[in-house]
Amino acid sequence: MKLRCYTLIIGLFFAVCIFAQPNQSKRLFFPFLNLESQTNIVVVATWEHPQVCSMEYTNLISNTNLFSVTDQKLFQEITLKYRGVATNQGPVGTVFKETGFRQWKAGKLIKIFPIVCFVYTNSAAQEEIAFSDRAFFAKYRTQQGDGYDVQFIDGSLNEYQEYKNGVLDGLCTIFGGNVNHCNIWARFVKGKIVGKFIMWGEDGLIRLEAEFNTPFDYLKNQTVKFDLAWTEVPTNSTGSAQSSK
């Protein structure tokens, strides 16, 4: 399994393009969302209409307008936490539980991949980790469904999405190739995106910026469906994943 493709797919999910309805050529629309759902979304930048990034929204991790001191500390702790994990070695405080298979969806694309599950010795929390040559993807959850998904590529934190009660709730960001900068930034509340969504280009320009004035069901209103969740795949008597037809 090539976990790097997940980053590319997420990039596609947030791909930058412009939509315009007849007689509304001056209005910009958020890509891959139903046009009729965008009445309370203000889009101010797209790939074809980029904006110069102000100091307020510079995509440095040290920018406290985007990342609180708590966020910054968390990224450091997570990087240390997963240093040295392997198929037979989980984070400190965990023990091996089992191996299994999970299913991951993006549009019509379905990937089935093996995971290694570790459980914590001092709580009911657990880790599911999938490995590839250069990357691994970890899903940390408490018994209540709180936690996060993270992806590391070449040892660097590449993605972070926060969950509460099993749904996106909190920071959702992609760092790309430089952990000191982020490429995509948004926040969710109870599964709905709230406030700004920002995507930066390598040139430092804002390539997509939108303001969600009310909590918006981002996943429901996608025109290109993207399922962020991992779902368990049944296994047959040999321990291999069954077909998901």
The range of the structural domain enclosing residue 32 comes to 4-83+93-230
Residue 9: pLDDT band (50, 70, 90) is: very low
Give tens-digit pLDDT for 87-126.
999 999 999 999 988 887 766 778 888 999 999 999 999 9
User: Residue 237 pLDDT > 90, yes or no?
Assistant: no
| CB-based contact 233:101 (threshold 8 Å) | yes
Give tens-digit pLDDT for 79-97.
999 999 999 999 999 999 9
* In-domain check, residue 203: yes
Instruction: Kindly state the percentage of the chain with pLDDT values over 90.
Output: 60
Query: How far is Cα 211 from Cα 186, in angstroms, rounded to an integer?
Result: 10
Q: Supply φ then ψ for residue 61, to 5 degrees.
A: -60, -25
Give tens-digit pLDDT for 15-31.
444 343 433 457 899 98
Of 178, 226, 164, 174, the residue nearest 197 (C-alpha): 174
* In-domain check, residue 235: no
- What pLDDT is stored for residue 199 in this prediction? 94
* In-domain check, residue 239: no
Burial 32-44 (b: 16+ CB within 10 A, else e): bbeeebbeebebe
User: Residue 12 pLDDT > 50, yes or no?
Assistant: no
Number of domains in the chain: 1
SS3 5: helix
Sign of the dihedral defined by the CA atoms of residues 119, 121, 125, 131, in that order: negative
* In-domain check, residue 204: yes
- Strand order in 41-45's β-sheet? 41-45, 206-216, 192-200, 184-189, 167-174, 156-164, 147-153, 135-141, 126-131, 109-120, 94-106, 226-232
* In-domain check, residue 242: no
Of 239, 237, 202, 185, the residue nearest 56 (C-alpha): 185
- What pLDDT is stored for residue 177 in this prediction? 64
Give tens-digit pLDDT for 175-232.
976 668 899 999 999 999 999 999 999 888 999 999 999 999 988 898 876 555 566 6
- What pLDDT is stored for residue 5 in this prediction? 40
Partners of residue 137 on adjacent β-strands: 130, 151
- What pLDDT is stored for residue 245 in this prediction? 43
* In-domain check, residue 194: yes
Of 81, 193, 82, the residue nearest 137 (C-alpha): 82
Q: End-to-end distance of the chain based on CA atoms, in angstroms?
A: 19
- What pLDDT is stored for residue 229 in this prediction? 58
* In-domain check, residue 245: no
